[in-house]
Amino acid sequence: MRRVIFDEDAERELIAQIDYLIQHDAVSAAYKLEAYVRWFIVEHLAVHPTIGTTLEHRDLWEFCIPKSRLVVWYRFTDVDLQIVYLWHRSEDRQAME
C-alpha cells in the first residue's frame, strides 16, 4: 500500500472545510467528513490512484471524492500518494488554473 502524504496546502484546506462545518453548527458532520475523506484517500485512492483524471499541464491527477463535494489533486509513485491540494466543488476553480 502507498504511504499517503498531505502537503501543507492540502492539509490546511481540509481543516478549513471541517472548520467551516463546525462554525455552521454541523460538528458531527464535520468530524464524519474528515474521517471519511482520510479513510477514502488511504483505503481507496492510495490503492487505485489511476481512478482519477490526469491533469497533464500540472503533472497531477484529479478526483472527486464520492459522497462529498470535495475534489483532490494528487500525484503518486509505487510507494507514495501525495495529496497536493483539496477544495470544495463550489469554489472557483478558475482561480487555481
CATH code, 75: 3.30.2310.20
User: Edge to edge, what strands does the sheet with 70-76 contain?
Assistant: 3-6, 80-88, 70-76, 60-64, 53-55
Angle between helices 8-23 and 27-40 (to 10 degrees): 150
pLDDT band at 97 (very low <50, low <70, confident <90, very high): low
Please give the residue that has the higher pLDDT: either 89 or 17: 17
Instruction: Give me the pLDDT at residue 91, please.
Output: 75
- Concatenating the DSSP letter of every residue in 16-52 gives HHHHHHHHTT-HHHHHHHHHHHHHHIIIIITT-GGGS
Instruction: Give me the pLDDT at residue 94, please.
Output: 56
pLDDT band at 30 (very low <50, low <70, confident <90, very high): very high
Q: What residue numbers bound the domain in which 16 lies?
A: 3-96
Instruction: Give me the pLDDT at residue 96, please.
Output: 57
Q: What nine digits make up the cell of 54?
A: 490526469
Predicted TM-score (pTM) of the model is 0.89
Total domains, the chain: 1
